[in-house]
């Protein structure tokens, strides 16, 4: 992750000699080219039309025409999350811009670097309720790192360069640049590189040495340490540094939903995912720890349960590049602000100094945790209704595809099963909407990931509810030769909502039946829908058909593939800590129920 304020990246040739006269619209395209952007997702409209004319002539930018602006935003997210590069989405004013809002909010919650460029009505019409006018800068200000409004064409190069810098440095996130139509049409003298001066923006990357030494000392003294790893490790490209620290300390590691793949699942020190649907060893390790080393994690409510009762006996070292996150939920005994990639190198060295006389003995801690792993392995039961077990389907997708694949999930039960039953061995292989929980994320995110990583197999693991929100992007995939694989985990319902209705509303299934997987009624028929979009459609209803369908999907690379896996509606995500309950719920259930298992 870069942190310097200058220079602006300029991989393309700088215009020689004197400044070049061009329109603001041409400057938008030229600035993106100069920043090294190669792919953008968008949908034209009146207020952004001037930009689309020079875009047609660009030989350095590939524009992918989406079917809905939300798809452009999620595609930009998937592009960024799978590659670590900036994702770019373009939309027109009014509804085009507001259709980007969900994806922008999603990127803000999950620290994804995207640039949203929107057209705005003529500056003299702003504030008059002109056709397709919306104050998109005001709308997005709470959900971006910054939102710019540009009325002068001469400001376009500097603004886009500044937006690039803000989005990709410090804590990554979305930046919006809204450009009036008159600014796009007017001419000016284009210069590159522009001066980028952001005096109020100075991300702290180098941690204070005394804080690092204090953290190392706590780690050297701890008897029950846990490395609580969040998505910041992935965003800072610090997985190698994490592995080095973990192996040096021999401390157990848990990876949150946003951090899956930051630490190899196959590693002996990995306890799995913590939280509401985390593994029993991971949940109990956090509760019983005497030290939490929180690395790029934000103590989300889905991890902590009732925050006041979370890890009650643990001291906390909290490392994050965003000072606003530290002590926001849990007061840090040792707060460290800095870039994790740099901090972990310093912390490893400081730990070596703190343990020069010998390593701490945590064998008893490991004996407890290994006992939990042996007693409570992650598992599932075969459905009694004869339909497919969704966990088995997802597990086989992961096993047959392997760790080099990319897996984008929607939101709900299938998301949790994908986080649990696919083994992640590398960062940037797991994409999901963690903070916002956006249904419809998977298909366009997978599309963006495939554009960024064309040589990797990319799966969208989706629910029948999520799929119906953004499946139109299959047309985009077909027409642009983006052969993603889509696995619809079709339980004919809004599965996670139905699970809560089963557990907390006496099985009163109010408005959660989608009628997508019944033998007599399938609205829509996903196989027919896939074929209408030019994709290969497959339906699987029997366990013995699962592997063959996945293998056919893996062998098919001339078009998208959609597999309709008809699964049991009664399958649930286990374990589960109910919302608002202490994570000690798992401890209590384990200690007081002889029959307790991960499915209780």
Phi, psi of 581 (to 5 degrees): -105, 150
Show pLDDT as tens, one digit a residue, over the chain (600 residues): 333 344 455 444 445 447 999 999 999 999 999 999 999 999 999 999 999 999 999 999 999 999 999 999 999 999 999 999 999 999 999 999 999 999 999 999 999 999 999 999 999 999 999 999 999 999 999 999 999 999 999 999 999 999 999 999 999 999 999 999 999 999 999 999 999 989 999 999 999 999 999 999 999 999 999 999 999 999 999 999 999 999 999 999 999 999 999 999 999 999 999 999 999 999 999 999 999 999 999 999 989 989 999 999 999 999 999 999 999 999 999 999 999 999 999 999 999 999 999 999 999 999 999 999 999 999 999 999 989 999 999 999 999 999 999 999 999 999 999 999 999 999 999 999 999 999 999 999 999 999 999 999 999 999 999 999 999 999 999 999 999 999 999 999 988 989 999 999 999 999 998 988 766 678 999 999 999 999 999 999 999 999 999 999 999 999 999 999 999 999 999 888 887 767 775 565 555 444 445 454
DSSP secondary structure, 326-385, as one string: TTSSS--SEEEES-HHHHHHHHHHHHHHHTTT-----HHHHHHHHHHHHHS----PPPTT
Is 121 in a helix, a strand, or coil?
Answer: coil
CA–CA distance, 20 with 189 (Å, rounded to integer): 5
Q: Could you say which of 60, 85, 122, 132 is catalytic? A: 132
Do 106 and 89 touch, CB atoms closer than 8 A?
A: no
- Report pLDDT for 575: 84
473 in active site = no
Q: Could you say which of 21, 131, 551, 579 is catalytic? A: 131
131 in active site = yes
Sheet holding 114-120, edge to edge: 62-65, 39-42, 87-91, 114-120, 175-180, 146-150
Q: Could you say which of 26, 69, 155, 598 is catalytic? A: 69
Domains of the chain, each with CATH number or no CATH: 20-190 (3.40.50.970), 209-375 (3.40.50.1220), 390-566 (3.40.50.970)
Among candidates 438, 451, 424, 414, which has minimal Cα distance to 563? 414
**In whole angstroms, what separates CA 599 from the centre of its chain?**
27
Residue 506 structure tokens: 């006496």
181 in active site = yes
| Burial of residue 197, with CB atoms counted within 10 A of its CB: 0-12 exposed, 13-18 middle, 19 or more buried | exposed
Q: Could you say which of 276, 416, 447, 496 is catalytic? A: 496
Write down the H helix ranges in 129-180: 136-140, 156-168
Q: Could you say which of 22, 34, 41, 181 is catalytic? A: 181
- Report pLDDT for 596: 47
- Report pLDDT for 169: 97
- Report pLDDT for 15: 52
496 in active site = yes
């Amino acid at each position: 992750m870069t942190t310097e304020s200058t220079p602006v990246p300029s991989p393309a040739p700088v215009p020689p000699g004197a400044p070049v006269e061009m329109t603001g619209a041409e400057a938008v395209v030229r600035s993106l080219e100069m920043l090294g952007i190669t792919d953008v997702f968008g949908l034209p409209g009146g207020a952004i039309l001037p930009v689309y004319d020079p875009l047609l002539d660009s030989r350095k930018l590939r524009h992918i025409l989406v079917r809905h602006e939300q798809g452009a935003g999620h595609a930009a997210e998937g592009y960024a999350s799978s590659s670590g590069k900036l994702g770019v989405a373009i939309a027109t004013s009014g509804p085009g811009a507001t259709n980007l809002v969900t994806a922008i909010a999603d990127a803000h919650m999950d620290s994804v670097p995207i640039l949203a460029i929107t057209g705005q009505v003529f500056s003299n019409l702003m504030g008059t309720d002109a056709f397709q006018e919306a104050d998109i800068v005001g709308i997005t200000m709470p959900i971006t790192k910054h939102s710019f409004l540009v009325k002068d064409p001469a400001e376009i190069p500097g603004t886009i360069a500044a937006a690039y810098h803000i989005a990709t440095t410090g804590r990554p996130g979305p930046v919006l640049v809204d450009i009036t139509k008159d600014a796009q049409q007017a001419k000016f003298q284009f210069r590159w590189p522009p001066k980028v001066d952001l005096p109020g923006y100075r991300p702290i990357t180098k941690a204070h040495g005394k804080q690092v030494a204090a953290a190392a000392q706590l780690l050297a003294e701890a008897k029950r340490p846990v490395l609580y790893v969040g998505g910041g490790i992935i965003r800072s490209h610090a997985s190698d540094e994490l592995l080095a620290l973990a192996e040096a300390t021999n401390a157990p590691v848990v990876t949150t939903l946003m951090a899956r793949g930051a630490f190899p699942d196959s590693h002996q020190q990995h306890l799995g995912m913590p939280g509401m649907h985390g593994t029993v060893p991971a949940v109990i390790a956090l509760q019983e720890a005497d030290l939490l080393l929180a690395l790029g994690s934000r103590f989300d409510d889905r991890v902590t349960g009732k925050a006041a009762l979370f890890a009650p006996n643990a001291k906390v070292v909290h490392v994050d590049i965003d000072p606003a996150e530290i002590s926001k939920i849990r007061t840090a005994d040792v707060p460290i602000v800095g870039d994790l990639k740099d901090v972990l190198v310093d912390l490893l060295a400081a730990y070596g100094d703190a343990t020069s006389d010998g390593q701490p003995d945590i064998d008893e801690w490991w004996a407890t945790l290994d006992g939990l792993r042996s007693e409570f392995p992650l598992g599932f039961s075969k459905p009694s209704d004869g339909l497919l077990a969704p966990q088995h389907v997802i597990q086989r997708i992961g096993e047959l595809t392997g760790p080099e694949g990319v897996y984008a999930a929607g939101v709900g039960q299938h998301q949790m099963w994908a986080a649990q039953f696919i083994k992640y061995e590398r960062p940037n292989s797991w994409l999901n909407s963690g903070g916002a929980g956006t249904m419809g994320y998977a298909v366009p995110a997978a599309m963006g990931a495939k554009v960024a990583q064309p040589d990797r197999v990319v799966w969208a693991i989706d629910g029948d509810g999520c799929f119906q929100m953004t499946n139109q992007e299959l047309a985009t995939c077909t027409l642009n030769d983006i052969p993603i694989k889509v696995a619809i985990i079709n339980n004919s319902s809004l599965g996670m909502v139905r699970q809560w209705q089963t557990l907390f509303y006496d099985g009163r299934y109010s408005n959660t039946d989608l009628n997508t997987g019944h033998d007599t009624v399938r609205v829509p028929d996903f196989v027919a829908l896939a074929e209408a979009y030019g994709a290969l459609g497959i339906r699987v209803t029997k366990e013995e058909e699962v592997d063959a369908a996945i293998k056919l999907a893996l062998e098919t690379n001339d078009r998208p593939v959609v597999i309709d896996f008809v699964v049991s509606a009664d399958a649930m995500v286990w374990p589960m800590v109910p919302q608002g309950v202490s994570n000690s719920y798992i401890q209590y259930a384990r200690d007081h129920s002889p029959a307790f298992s991960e499915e209780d």
